[in-house]
A and B are shown apart, each in its own frame.
Chain A
Amino acid sequence: MRLHEYQAKGVFADAGIPTPGSEVASTVDDVVSIAERLGYPVAVKAQVHVGGRGKAGGIKLAEDSDEARDAAEDILGMDLKGYTVEKVLVEEAVDFTNELYVGVTMDRGEGKPVAMVSTKGGVNIEEVAEEDPDAIAREHIDPAFGMHPYQARKVVYDAGVDKAVARDVASVLTTLYDLWESKDASDAEINPLMVTSDDEVVAADAVLNIDEDALFRHPDLAEMEDEAAEDELEAKANEYGFDYVRLDGNVGIIGNGAGLVMTTLDLVDYYGGKPANFLDIGGGAKAERVANALDMVFSDENVDSVVFNIFGGITRGDEVAKGINEALEQFDEIPKRVVVRLAGTNAAEGREILNDELVTVEETLEGAVQRAVEYAEEDQ
């Protein structure tokens, strides 16, 4: 789960990381009155879950109230890479001499946290990592002991951070690691950490992504989830508890188990179709869950046909068949043609129950996918 910049900054500030004065606003008038209060110049920053906000016109500097009003009018309501900007952060602009990058994440290859510092801050750090990996100093941390102060100092010195601020940067990194750990974050980053002409450091941005599997330990953070930031269908999937990703094709795909669902997507593509979504109903799904899955995919107007691919282990074919029947019997006319392939636990019982006036039953995975692709082409 990704927090907005203003939310992450609040968490960072509470932990003692220096941040510029700032407030959130959702109207133009509020932006101007906050800017007056903070004093010019200010930065007006779109609060949406996309990278590269600055380049896309989502961050503007304002020197006076007219500019603040203009910036607010430009940014509030704008479409930023598919997301509508509903909130902006109004923040004191920092007069800086240098921009650093400081981050903590999980190195999955090593199975250990890694702390990172770079003097190439203020730019896309993924690009730096790719083009000039040596520009980022890294230190792996033993998750059982946490980060020792010497490790924070080491990575700061390795990065070549100016001695005048090294101690403060190490202190920010230590706090950031402690936050990463205590909040069950997957990533905690500051980019840029600005160095002022007085040799002070200030977090001018804040990234805090939380491991969704650990949200049960952090009800305060779970409350910060911004459903408005999600695609309408993805928000609905969240409510139903499905792993769901919307894609740009027209063959709806429902299955059990991430690997099998991905494979079904790949096969749709292989047979010349275009997947409309990834929907994993998970393990042990009962009839109601199956009906919810169909409801989800039918709600996507881009979908022309649906392939339902179940290989039961923990999931029972008869339960799935019951769910499909119940869901489809509610319609006078079923909105999209549905192809079902059932295998594994209780698959024979399931195929027996399935109402084949409502769905097309196929024996094999390949057969089911080809049939769904054909239907999608016909119904286009």
Chain B
Amino acid sequence: MSILVDEDTRVVVQGITGGEGKFHTEQMLEYGTNVVAGTSPGKGGQEVAGVPVYDTVNEAVEEEDADASVVFVPPAFAADAIFEALDTSLDLVVAITEGIPTQDMAKVNKRLSEVDTRLQGPNCPGIITPGESKLGILPGNIFESGNVGLVSRSGTLTYQVVDTLTSRGIGQTTAIGIGGDPIIGTDFIDALEAFENDPDTEAVVMCGEIGGEDEEEAAAYIAENMDTPVAGFIAGRTAPPGKRMGHAGAIVSGSGTGTAESKIDALNDAGVPVGDTPAEVVDHIEDFL
């Protein structure tokens, strides 16, 4: 089992004729993802890696009966591409694009509250149900099918933890990178809720980082609502206050909230063990299984 995507998910790639769009379409097809269409305004009628290209998302969804999209559109046009996707019957839109202006995302966020479609990202590596489907840029070969769910704000940190899990023989139900931007669609709580409701997910890894208060809120959610055990990791313990560390969200205000310490404390209070190293997180998961 899995959350959000599986082998039946029919995927549209927005921006399929661009360099990233084309390369990762090939990678996704190779992994077994059911990529049924691509879009690129003005390039309808072409094909990329055998996948038909349409001018609009609506056309692609109607013609190919798609239910999810992956956005590889450059930042200046990405919000528009997400709005376009949200104006269709898609269940899930995964935005990989990094560097979308925050005010654009605030407007997208407003639109999200009016539609049924789920957004994941932006600035995220995507989502993968090992052995079935991957939407995004995650390296498929390190994942194994199994019973641990993973949700993370950081792409490469996800890979690190997954690699450790897999090397110790622990497979994954679904891994989802929610992205490190200040305004995102799917957040920790959305993903944790989906894992809680998935009968095959027996334990969850949650990787957070400094900045914002999402981890603190997730901790409160776990304490109230989850029976599935969760182990955590928080990146940025050594980050100095006031500096932005790559992710827009990864900045410590210096006023006590959003620090690694406040996040670790909140998780510990919710009964979630937090590893000092990625390997230690996997130790905790081993204890749960």
A184 within 8 A of B: yes
Contacts A213-B75, A257-B154, A262-B245 given; indicate if A109 touches B99 (C-beta within 8 A). Answer: no
Q: Which B203-240 residues sit within 8 Å CB-CB of chain A?
A: 207, 209-210, 212-213, 233, 235-240
Q: Which A245-278 residues sit within 8 Å CB-CB of chain B?
A: 245, 247, 255-263, 265-270, 275, 278
Contact A260 B107 (CB under 8 A): no
Contact A262 B239 (CB under 8 A): yes
- Tell me which of B57-65, B155-163, B192-200 binds A: B155-163
A interface, by DSSP: helix, strand, loop or mixed? Answer: mixed
Contact B103 A184 (CB under 8 A): yes
Interface string of A113-156 (1 = CB under 8 A from B): 10000000000001001100000000000111000000000000
A192 to chain B, nearest CB (A): 21
A330 to B61, CA, bound (A): 53
Contact A144 B110 (CB under 8 A): yes
Contacts A213-B248, A257-B157, A259-B154 given; indicate if A126 touches B276 (C-beta within 8 A). Answer: no
User: What number of B residues sit within 8 Å (CB to CB) of A?
Assistant: 63
A334 within 8 A of B: no
A245 to B250, CA, bound (A): 12
Contacts A262-B245, A270-B277 given; indicate if A213 touches B101 (C-beta within 8 A). Answer: yes
Interface residue tally on A, bucketed by range: 35 or more
Interface string of B123-163 (1 = CB under 8 A from A): 00100000000000111001000000000111111111001
Residues of A within 8 Å of B104, CB to CB, are: 214
Contact A108 B249 (CB under 8 A): yes
Instruction: Please pick, from A111, A112, A143, A262, the residue contacting B236 in the complex, using a CB distance under 8 A.
Output: A262
B77 to chain A, nearest CB (A): 11
A366 within 8 A of B: yes
Contacts A263-B160, A313-B155, A344-B139 given; indicate if A213 touches B102 (C-beta within 8 A). Answer: yes
Contact B163 A343 (CB under 8 A): yes
A245 to B183, CA, bound (A): 23
Q: Which A169-200 residues sit within 8 Å CB-CB of chain B?
A: 181, 184, 186
A297 to chain B, nearest CB (A): 16
Q: Which B242-289 residues sit within 8 Å CB-CB of chain A?
A: 243-250, 253-256, 276-279
Interface string of B82-116 (1 = CB under 8 A from A): 00000000000000001111111111011100000
Interface centre among A142, A262, A270, A343 (most CB of B within 10 A): A262
A291 within 8 A of B: no
Contact B103 A214 (CB under 8 A): yes
Instruction: Please pick, from B106, B159, B207, the residue contacting A313 in the complex, using a CB distance under 8 A.
Output: B159
A163 within 8 A of B: no
Residue ID in chain B nearest A109 by CB atoms: B213
A126 to chain B, nearest CB (A): 6
Residues of A within 8 Å of B244, CB to CB, are: 243, 245
Residue ID in chain A nearest B279 by CB atoms: A366
A12 to chain B, nearest CB (A): 19
Instruction: Please pick, from A112, A259, A365, the residue contacting B106 in the complex, using a CB distance under 8 A.
Output: A112
Residues of A within 8 Å of B103, CB to CB, are: 106, 113, 143, 181, 184, 211, 214
A257 to B209, CA, bound (A): 12
Contact B101 A214 (CB under 8 A): yes
A114 to chain B, nearest CB (A): 11
Instruction: Please pick, from A144, A184, A260, A275, the residue contacting B160 in the complex, using a CB distance under 8 A.
Output: A260
Q: Which A336-362 residues sit within 8 Å CB-CB of chain B?
A: 343-345
A248 to B221, CA, bound (A): 37
Residue ID in chain A nearest B23 by CB atoms: A314
Contacts A259-B156, A313-B125 given; indicate if A269 touches B237 (C-beta within 8 A). Answer: yes
A312 within 8 A of B: yes
B182 within 8 A of A: yes
Contact A365 B160 (CB under 8 A): yes
Residue ID in chain A nearest B217 by CB atoms: A109
A331 within 8 A of B: no
Contact B159 A111 (CB under 8 A): no
Contact A259 B207 (CB under 8 A): yes
A363 to chain B, nearest CB (A): 11
Contact B238 A265 (CB under 8 A): yes
Contact A106 B109 (CB under 8 A): no
Residues of A within 8 Å of B38, CB to CB, are: none
Contact B183 A111 (CB under 8 A): yes
Q: Can you spell out 9 A-B residue pairs with CB atoms less than 8 angstroms apart?
A: A109-B213, A111-B105, A211-B103, A257-B155, A257-B157, A259-B157, A259-B235, A283-B98, A311-B160
Residue ranges of B at the interface with A (Cβ–Cβ < 8 Å) = 20, 24, 75-76, 98-107, 109-111, 125, 137-139, 142, 152-160, 163, 180, 182-183, 207, 209-210, 212-213, 233, 235-240, 243-250, 253-256, 276-279
In the complex, besides A181-B103, A211-B102, 11 extra interface pairs with C-beta distance below 8 angstroms are A111-B106, A256-B156, A258-B180, A258-B209, A259-B247, A262-B235, A262-B245, A262-B250, A270-B277, A284-B20, A366-B279
